[in-house]
Chain A
Amino acid sequence: MSAVLYDVPGPRAKARNRIANVVVILLVLAAVGWVVYRLNASGQFESRRWIQFQYTSIQQQLLDGLLNTLKAAGLATVFALILGAVLAAARISDHKWVRVPATLVIELFRAIPLLILMFFFYYGNLQWQLGIGPFWDVVFGLTLYNGSVLAEIFRAGIAAVPKGQREASYALGLRKNQVVRLVLLPQAISAMLPAIVSQLVVLLKDTALGFIITYGELLYVAKQMGGRLQYGFPYIPTYMVVAVIYIGLCSLLSLLARYLEGRSRRRRKITGAPPPLPITDAGDATREIGLS
């Protein structure tokens, strides 16, 4: 697509591009080299800053942290999907008294910063002694926010099915429930899937907010490890390792989203199903959908 922005390079342009290419590569290498030099000069590669990773108990802690991250993300995913489905159903209801409150709820939870949502549970628990731990603060916070975003994805997915299908179904005498369940949803799901999965990337990343309310997820463990004076405050080594884990996990999910998007695009060519919703991962996928 972007190839139309410039002419097929001629000999001079080719030479110019080659020079630019080399310059850019050199610049990037220089930047990387400088960072590595700084890291080395400030002793970040000293073995005392890495030695913690050798201890089985530390490995166990990292693993526990990772499991806590996945546990919160997994449970929140299930809850958010359920909440999203309920809110979306209410949102497309024919009854105004169902539709309007649902819309308000969705808009509200999408507008509140996630950290503040988690604070509601965290401080609410301290104030009223509800007996819910930081795990549930994280899960509930993630559920409310992502449930609202998913509700909009569901709604947009259903709205993306060509109007004629709906009209044809009603003409056949199907009830609204049947139209949505039998005709619209099956087609909408494949269009929604990429957007849903990429929203799950957002959800997974947001578990890292948990450390602020003392939930023992991966970043929390990393901060504990980095905060050991005995090992020269190895923040950089620990963050490097944790970053690799986060990026690896999220990339896997992103990859899945792209794959689903490609598949649904290919399928559309054959069956005429609705196009996939755009993936945004901006933490607010729905506005973009509103455009389409």
Chain B
Amino acid sequence: MLSVLTDNWKLFVDGFWTTIRLFLVAGVFSLVLGTALAGFRVSPVPALRGFGTGYVNILRNTPLTLVFAFLVFGAPKMQIELPSYFWSAVTALTIYTSAFICEVVRSGINTVAPGQSEAARAVGMTFLQVLRIVVLPQAFRAIVPPLTSVLIALLKNTTIAAGFSVAEAGAIPAVMAERGENQVLTLVWITIGFLIAIIPLVLLQRWAERRTAVA
């Protein structure tokens, strides 16, 4: 059982390292884009609100696989070039995940007591100042648990990149099949890998849940 892992150690390490890079890069981009979108959705400019709503509604109802397919097979057809399949995957994951992050952040904004932003406005803050200085810092604390859920989903979703020529953890089974290794054991090891990768996120979540429960 162990030899499946040790004989192919490099394949597993490379695969999971790519998974983690995908997760981190797409995670950071999604957080930025998702927060911006949430800002759009609560902004005083109707067109921005409309754009934010349209974006979220379309992306949340589209399979991630289709977003991938569009970027990998569609984009080059219209001469939109991404440097590599890795970056195509990062773009697909970012476009998709940011819609979910937007919704989490928006519901977080709604949890901040209205009196807070009213007070902030009373001292003369603009919309952006209210959001940046008063609302978002408080909202982020409340949304860490649901945000972590979205990030866990992102981590698991990276496996879809395997269908689009990115050699991450989800692509290991195909190589192992070709090598004639035991595929079910391979999958067991991949599962263990994902469990290990998810643990820090779950711990973060539990910690944040405890903190908000007290606050």
Is there an interface contact between B152 and A284, defined as CB atoms closer than 8 Å?
yes
Check if A20 sits within 8 Å of B48, measured CB to CB: yes
Q: A21-B47, A116-B159, A283-B153 are in contact. Are A208 and B63 (CB under 8 A)?
A: yes
Contacts of A67 in B (CB 8 A): none
The one of A44, A112, A127, A207 that contacts B183, using a Cβ cutoff of 8 Å: A127
| Bound CA–CA A236/B63 (angstroms) | 16
The reply to whether B103 and A280 form a contact with Cβ atoms under 8 Å apart is yes
Q: Check B66–A239 contact: CB distance below 8 A.
A: yes
Q: Are A39 and B78 in contact (CB under 8 A)?
A: yes
Stretch at the interface among B3-11, B85-93, B190-198: B190-198
A271 at the B interface (CB under 8 A): no
Which of A57-65, A118-126, A187-195, A262-270 lies at the binding interface? A118-126
Residues of A within 8 Å of B194, CB to CB, are: 111-113, 116
Hey, which chain A residues are within 8 Å of B127, CB to CB?
A: 5-6
Residues of B within 8 A of A44 (CB): 77-78
- Interface flags for A272-291 (1: CB within 8 Å of B; 0: not) read 00000010111111111011
Instruction: Encode A240-273 as 1/0 by CB contact (under 8 A) with B.
Output: 0011001100110010000000000000000000
How would you classify the secondary structure of chain A's contact residues: helix, strand, loop or mixed? Answer: helix
| Any A CB within 8 A of the CB of B214 | no
**How distant is B95 from chain A, measured CB to nearest CB, in Å?**
13
Q: CB-CB < 8 A to B62: which residues of A?
A: 205, 243, 246-247, 250
A185 at interface, CB cutoff 8 A: no
In the complex formed, the residue of A with least CB distance to B44 is A6
> Complex formed: what's the CA distance from A219 to B62 in Å?
12
Given known A-B contacts A239-B69, A239-B74, A6 and B100 have beta carbons under 8 A apart: no
A246 B198 Cβ-Cβ under 8 A = no
CB distance from A207 to the nearest CB of B (A): 8
List, in ascending order, chain B residues with CB within 8 A of A282's CB. 100, 104, 146, 149-150, 153
* Complex: A111 Cα to B156 Cα, angstroms: 8
Whether A24 contacts B182 by the Cβ 8 Å rule is no
Most chain B beta-carbon neighbours within 10 Å: one of A25, A124, A201, A282: A282
Residues of chain A within 8 A of B145, CB atoms compared: 287-288, 290-291
Are A123 and B150 in contact (CB-based, < 8 A)?
no
A115 partner, pick from B58, B121, B146, B159, beta carbons under 8 A: B159
Among A5, A115, A243, A285, contact of B117 (Cβ-Cβ < 8 Å)? A5
**Interface majority SS (helix, strand, loop, mixed), chain B:** helix
Once the chains bind, are B77 and A233 in contact (CB under 8 Å)? Answer: yes
Shortest CB distance A8–B (Å): 10
Q: Is A226 an interface residue (CB 8 A)?
A: yes
Q: Of B42, B69, B126, B162, which is within 8 A of A2 by CB?
A: B42
Query: Of A6, A126, A219, A247, which contacts B58 at CB under 8 A?
Result: A247
Complex-state Cα separation, A113 to B19, whole angstroms = 12
The minimal Cβ–Cβ distance linking A56 to chain B, given in whole angstroms, is 25
Q: Is A42 an interface residue (CB 8 A)?
A: yes
A123 touches B183 (CB 8 A): yes
A48 lies within 8 A of chain B by Cβ = no
A47 to B131, CA, bound (A): 49
**B-contact bits for A206-230, CB 8 A (1 contact / 0 none):** 1111011000000100110010000
Contact present for A112 and B78 (CB under 8 Å): no
Q: Please report which residues of chain A, range 4-39, place their CB below 8 angstroms from some CB of chain B when the two chains form the complex.
A: 4-7, 9, 13, 17, 20-22, 24-25, 28, 35, 38-39
B170 sits at the interface (CB 8 A): yes
Q: 7 extra interchain contacts, Cβ-Cβ under 8 A, other than A5-B131, A282-B146? A: A6-B44, A24-B45, A111-B195, A112-B191, A113-B156, A222-B69, A282-B149
| Sample of 20 A–B contacts (CB below 8 Å) | A4-B117, A35-B78, A111-B198, A112-B191, A115-B162, A116-B191, A123-B173, A126-B183, A127-B184, A209-B160, A212-B163, A219-B65, A222-B69, A236-B74, A239-B74, A246-B66, A247-B58, A282-B149, A287-B145, A290-B209
Chain A residues in the interface with B (C-beta under 8 A): 1-2, 4-7, 9, 13, 17, 20-22, 24-25, 28, 35, 38-39, 41-42, 44, 108, 111-116, 119-120, 123-124, 126-127, 201, 205-209, 211-212, 219, 222-223, 226, 233, 235-236, 239, 242-243, 246-247, 250-251, 254, 278, 280-288, 290-291
